């Protein structure tokens, strides 16, 4: 297969598997999405979705969030891990949203990435899922599969994002990044990988990895 044929195979397969694409993190608006994505760093979406209802019952907007102390936020979000950093980030960005943006989440990468504890991936998820701006956030699943499918060299997530944006049509980025995440979880996980179920990797995957998997 040529690289173009591989890309088209990925698009077609994912569209057939996921014609409707659920958003992994529960939220109701850009602010609650921003907080949920921040909490998801080194934490599963399942765990985040268990914790955010507790947090959002107390504060689902920046004005109520800053009424809580950093320690109160930390106590609630502790099960998500990295709670000292995340609690300070949530409190700090909430205050900035009030002071600079009238309590609204800004609709630009630059403004989002300037907020405490918000990196490029978090900003990309918010821009994509909250505002419909074309973005290709790369998480561990996408990074793993782009390498496994021989569509990126796997050096770092920055290069993987660059390769994904170069290979896939821009109008599909927002759907594809979610479809690849779901595919990675269900068909091509890091552990317990069953190659027979993983039709994409089996068809277009990196030969060295497939040979190793077959031997295993």
Q: Which two tokens stand for residue 128?
A: 């994509």
Evaluated on CA atoms 58, 61, 64, 68, the torsion sign reads positive
Average confidence (pLDDT) over 80-93: 98
Per cent of the chain over pLDDT 90 is 94
Q: What is the mean pLDDT of the chain?
A: 96
d(CA 158, CA 162): 6
Kindly indicate the confidence band of residue 215, based on its pLDDT and cuts at 50, 70 and 90: low
Average confidence (pLDDT) over 85-91: 98
Contacts of 39 (CB under 8 A, 6+ apart): 48, 51, 52, 77, 80, 86
pLDDT of residue 213: 73
- Asked if 154 and 140 touch (Cβ cutoff 8 Å), the reply is no
DSSP H or E run through 48: helix 45-58
Q: Does residue 121 surpass a pLDDT of 80?
A: yes
Q: Is 121 a catalytic residue?
A: yes
Q: Which two tokens stand for residue 215?
A: 């031997």
DSSP H or E run through 204: helix 199-204
DSSP H or E run through 185: helix 173-186
d(CA 42, CA 15): 28
Predicted TM-score (pTM) of this structure: 0.92
Q: Does residue 82 surpass a pLDDT of 70?
A: yes
pLDDT in tens, 142-151: 999 999 999 9
Q: Is 45 a catalytic residue?
A: no
Start-end ranges of CATH 1.10.340.30 in the chain? 30-129
**CATH code at 3-21+137-215:** 1.10.1670.10
Start-end ranges of CATH 1.10.1670.10 in the chain? 3-21+137-215
Q: Which of 45, 60, 139, 163 is catalytic?
A: 139
Kindly indicate the confidence band of residue 154, based on its pLDDT and cuts at 50, 70 and 90: confident
Average confidence (pLDDT) over 28-47: 97
Q: Give the DSSP letter string of 8-22.
A: HHHHHHHHHH-SS--
pLDDT of residue 155: 87
Q: Which of 6, 45, 121, 198 is catalytic?
A: 121
Contacts of 116 (CB under 8 A, 6+ apart): 88, 89, 92, 93, 96
pLDDT of residue 216: 61
**CATH code at 30-129:** 1.10.340.30
Average confidence (pLDDT) over 156-161: 96
pLDDT in tens, 184-201: 999 999 999 999 999 999
d(CA 202, CA 192): 15
The position carrying tokens 């002071």 is 99
């Amino acid at each position: 297969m040529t690289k173009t044929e591989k890309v088209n195979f990925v698009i077609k397969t994912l569209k057939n598997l996921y014609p409707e694409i659920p958003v992994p993190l529960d939220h109701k608006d850009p602010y609650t999405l921003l907080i949920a994505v921040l909490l998801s760093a080194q934490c599963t979406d399942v765990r985040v979705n268990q914790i955010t209802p507790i947090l959002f019952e107390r504060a689902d907007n920046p004005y109520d969030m800053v009424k809580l102390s950093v320690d109160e936020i930390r106590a609630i979000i502790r099960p998500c891990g990295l709670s000292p950093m995340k609690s300070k980030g949530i409190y700090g960005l909430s205050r900035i949203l009030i002071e600079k943006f009238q309590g609204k989440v800004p609709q630009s990468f630059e403004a989002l990435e300037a907020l405490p504890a918000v990196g490029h991936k978090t900003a990309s998820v918010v821009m994509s899922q909250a505002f419909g701006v074309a973005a290709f956030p790369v998480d561990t699943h996408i990074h793993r599969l782009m390498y496994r499918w021989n569509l990126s060299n796997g050096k770092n997530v920055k290069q993987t994002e660059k390769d994904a944006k170069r290979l896939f049509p821009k109008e599909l980025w927002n759907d594809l990044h979610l479809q690849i995440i779901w595919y990675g979880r269900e068909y091509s996980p890091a552990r317990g990988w069953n190659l027979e179920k993983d039709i994409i990797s089996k068809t277009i995957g990196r030969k060295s990895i497939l040979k190793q998997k077959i031997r295993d």
